[in-house]
Amino acid sequence: MEFYTHTLNNGIRIIHKPEKGEVAYCGMIINAGSRDEKEKEHGMAHFIEHVVFKGTKKRKAFHVLSRLEDVGGELNAFTSKEETCIYATCLKEDYERSMELISDITFHSVFPEKELIKEKEVIVDEINSYKDSPAELIFDDFEELLYPNHPIGRNILGTPETLKSFTRDDIFSFTDNNYHTDHMVFCSVGQQEFKKVVKLAEKYFGDIKENRREIKRQPIVTGAPQIIRTNKDTYQSHVIIGGAAYDYNHPKRLGLHLLNNLLGGPGMNSRLNMSLREKRGIAYNIESSYTAFYGTGVFSIYFGTDRKNVDKSLKIVFTELDKLRNQHLGTLQLQKAKRQLKGQIAISSENKESLMLNLGKSYLLYNKVDSLEYIYKKIDELSASDLAEIANECFNPKDLSQLIYL
C-alpha cells in the first residue's frame, strides 16, 4: 500500500494515500473520546463534536455548514469512546477548502452561547430516541455493566443533567486537557501530490500551539461477570452476552477478529445466524462484535427474539461457543473462514472514505499502517489450535455477563 507521512513541528501527523479520482477525502482524527471525561463531563466529547459546527472566529454556523455544501461536498463528524473525528468529502479541486475548514472548526470554534443552548436540546432528543430503541440502548447498558464506575463504561451521549451544566469554559477546559497535538492525525485519500498536502498542512495546522500528552490512559479493571434480567415492556426480548476481551495492542487480537467473523459477523452464513435464524427461525437479528480499546476490549453477542425463545436461544449460543472452545476447526473450515475475512477486508478497503479513516486510526494508534499483504500473511499464520486457545480465553461462559431485556 502506497502512502506518505509527515510530522509537523507541533506533533500533528499527516498521512496521505494518492488515489486517482475526481473526489478527495480528508479528516482530522483526535485521540480523545468519552473515556477521557471526568464524571461531571459525561457527554462532553460528543457535545463538542456537535457544537464545533456552530461558529468560528471568522464564520457563523451557516457559513460553516455552507462552505463545502455550496460546492457539492460533505462535512461530517463522529465521536467514539476514544476518538473524535471531523472529516470531509469533496471534489479534488476543493481539497484545500476542506482542509482549511477542518482546521478552522477544530482549532478556532468559539461555541456561541445561544448555539450551545439549542444544541443541548437537540442532544437531549437524541438521548430520548435511544431510550425508545432497546436494540441500541442495551449496548450502552451492557458496557456500563462491564465497566462500572469507569468512563469507558458510560454511554457517549451523556445525560440531560450533565449536558445542561456545560459552559463554554468547560468546553475549552476539556479540549485543552485532551486535544493533544501529538495525538492528532490528519488523514487523506485523493489525487493530490504529497508535497502539496504537506504544504497545505503546514499552512493550516503548522501554527497550532504545541500541546503534547504527558499522562497516559490507565489500564482498566472489569467488574465481575453478572446475569441481569430486567423488564422493559417491549414486544421483543433483547439479549447481550459478552465480556472483556483483548486490547488493541494484544498479539491475539487478529485471531479474535477471525473468530468473531466466523461466529456472528456480517455474513449471512455466520454460525449464529445459521443456528438461530436459518435453521430455527427464532431470531431476526443476531450478531457478534469485537471492539478493541486501550487497555481492554469488548466482545459481545446480541440477538432479539420472542420472550418464549430467550432461554432456547441462549442454549444454542452457548453451544456454538462451546464448539469453538472444544472442537478445532477442520482444514477446509479454517481456510474458508480465512478467505471470507480476507475478502471482507479487501472489499472494505475499496471504500475510499473508510480507507481514509482506517489509515488515520492505524497511524494514530500504531504510528504505522499494515499492508493488505501483511494482514493476509498474519491471517494465514493462524492455526486451528491458536483459535481454540483464543476461544477458551474469551468465550468461557463463567467469564461472560448477560443482560436481557424481557
Residue 84 — very low, low, confident or very high, per pLDDT cuts 50/70/90? very high
Closest listed residue to residue 103, CA positions, set 138, 165, 58: 58
Taking residues 119-125, what's their average pLDDT? Answer: 96
**How many Å apart are CA 86 and CA 360, to the nearest integer?**
12
Nearest alpha carbon to residue 223 among 77, 401, 2: 401
- The full set of domains in the chain, from first to last, is 4-205 (3.30.830.10), 227-405 (3.30.830.10)
Whether 1 shows a pLDDT value over 80: the answer reads no
344 in Cβ contact with 261 (< 8 Å): yes
Residue range 140-161: average pLDDT? 95
Is 5 exposed, middle or buried (CB count within 10 Å of its CB: 0-12, 13-18, 19+)? Answer: middle
Nearest-angstrom CA–CA distance, 287 and 270: 9
pLDDT for the residue numbered 234: 85
pLDDT-based confidence at residue 215 (cuts at 50, 70, 90)? confident
Residue positions counted in the chain: 406
Cell numbers linked to 405: 431485556
pTM of the predicted structure, to 2 decimals: 0.94
Residue 212 — pLDDT band, cuts 50, 70, 90?
Answer: very high
Cα distances (angstroms) measured from residue 282 to each of 261, 308, 309: 21, 10, 7
- Taking the C-alpha atoms of residue 152 and residue 317, their distance in angstroms, rounded to an integer, is 27
Percent share of the chain, pLDDT over 70:
100
Pairing of strands 4-7, 84-91: unpaired
Examine the pLDDT at 130 and tell me if it is beyond 90.
no
H-state helical runs in 58-193: 61-69, 95-107, 113-131, 134-146, 160-165, 168-178
Q: Residue 181: its pLDDT value, please?
A: 98
